[in-house]
Structure 1
Amino acid sequence: MSHSTTEVLVGGGVLAAALAFGLYAVQSAGFDFSGGEYPLRASFRSLEGVSVGTDVRLAGVKVGTVTDIDLNRETFRADTVVSIRDGIEIPDDSAIIVASEGLLGGNFIEISPGGSPFNFESGDEILDTQGAVSLLSLLLKYVGGGSSSE
């Protein structure tokens, strides 16, 4: 069984490309094998544009992901669970906001840190929430409100 050097080099190149693509796919999907996470809960009026797997950011840096979304049938709010990386301590007077990356960008969850010396523990609920703002409703309000000259 004789193999030429060219076949071995081409096979090695294909294998290296496949491994590089696999690593890129895992990183793009947001998998983090570096350590643990702890859950925090929040209840939003509107989670438009947010789904399981959406980034949770603090100062523009990804610190976690949305892991669960469910409709509360009593309050008609979106009960949400976010997982935050271990080692990221969030003050217990922080706010959690549905933010947008721009007019054409997607939504993400932004944590606006407070100044409390005490931090959230695993399973705590963030009470200060702000849901998604619909760009269409804002535009209609602006156009409708700007047309009256009385």
Structure 2
Amino acid sequence: MAHSFGAAVALSADSPRIERLVLLSPGGLTKLRLPPTLLTAFATWYLRPTPKSSARLLRALHAPGRTPREELVDWMTLVARHARSSTEPGTAALPPRPVPRLLLTGEHDVFLPPRRLAPAVRATLGTELRVMPGAGHLIVEEHADRLAALVRPDA
């Protein structure tokens, strides 16, 4: 199971140990959507990493009505203070050996909304994108219990 930029990496991996992929809000298949409100929240968090700016950014990435956990706010503040991320994962390079893939995104994903991601998934991977109702970009944080069922060997 891989999420966002990590999904782009997992999708590009060509290891015989990988038998199945569950890719969540997968980067690398289409450009990210960056609405002005998200850019503002990201810039504030990046330039002035405080718990307040981290919480604002996380609220933008969550589905409407969801509140980020305090531990996640603290983590994001540390990330902004001590690490730098690239802005785009680039294009995923598909390995020659296909494996079964389940692709899933949140109904309210601000970076990779279903209407933008679904055509790219269909064109690139020849499969359909599944949409989780009530989830945002942070689908792993919001619905960990529902996602755990997807990685069971019998799922």
Q: What TM-score does the superposition give when structure 1 sets the normalisation length?
A: 0.22
Q: Which has the higher helix share?
A: 2
Flag the structure with larger Rg: 1
Q: Which has the higher strand share?
A: 1
Structure having greater relative contact order (Cα 8 Å, sep ≥ 6) = 2
